[in-house]
Amino acid sequence: MRIKTVSLPTEPAVLSVSLLSPAEAAKPEPGIVPPHPKPVARKQVPIQQPAQLVVPSEAPVAASVAVPPAQTFVASTPPIDAPPASMPTQPRFDADYLDNPKPTYPPLSRRVGEQGRVVLRVRVGADGLANDVQLHISSGFARLDNSALETVQHWKFVPARRGNEAIAATVLIPIVFSLKG
């Protein structure tokens, strides 16, 4: 096979360049001064930490454990023109009169020595019922996680409030499964 090279005549492309004079910069009109916003004071907003519920290795007892949550303060800046709104409270699950049962320790988990801490994310409705329960942090053992999930789905809560109105809110619930009595 033979390859034949053919050269075609091409005309050079013409490139034209012209220099433009720089445009005059726009000068700001004197006398117009933009307003400066007023400084906003920062408020300390308490953030409640979830209480821990410990499941003992003995048979579960029907009494709930009320543990006051620890508070952490975080600085926040409210909007400038917004009127001060009342801060919503967190849903509560540790009130004694709610009679929320502790999760049962799965017998097989007890036998093989499984222990751990489960953290559940619960969406509490304005009616105080758990609308959605999700595993937030696993204990590492499916039996312990499932026991906590199934039990908390039937819990009753004191709903969060904004002023006098009950509102839906999310709360993290830690549950500890421990064989130490």
| Residue 147, helix vs strand vs coil | helix
Residue 174's pLDDT is what?
95
Q: Is the pTM of this model over 0.75?
A: no
Regions in the chain scoring below 50 on pLDDT: 17-18, 57-78, 80, 82-83
Strand order in the sheet with 53-55: 53-55, 169-177, 116-124, 130-137
- Between CA 168 and CA 126 the distance in angstroms is 5
The span from the CA of 124 to the CA of 121, in Å, is 10
Which pLDDT score is estimated for 132?
Answer: 96
User: Which residue's entry shows tokens 């993290």?
Assistant: 172
Q: Can you give the pLDDT at residue 73?
A: 41
Residue 50, pLDDT score: 54
What amino acid occupies position 79? Answer: P
Q: What domains appear along the chain, each with residue ranges and CATH number?
A: 54-65+89-177 (3.30.2420.10)
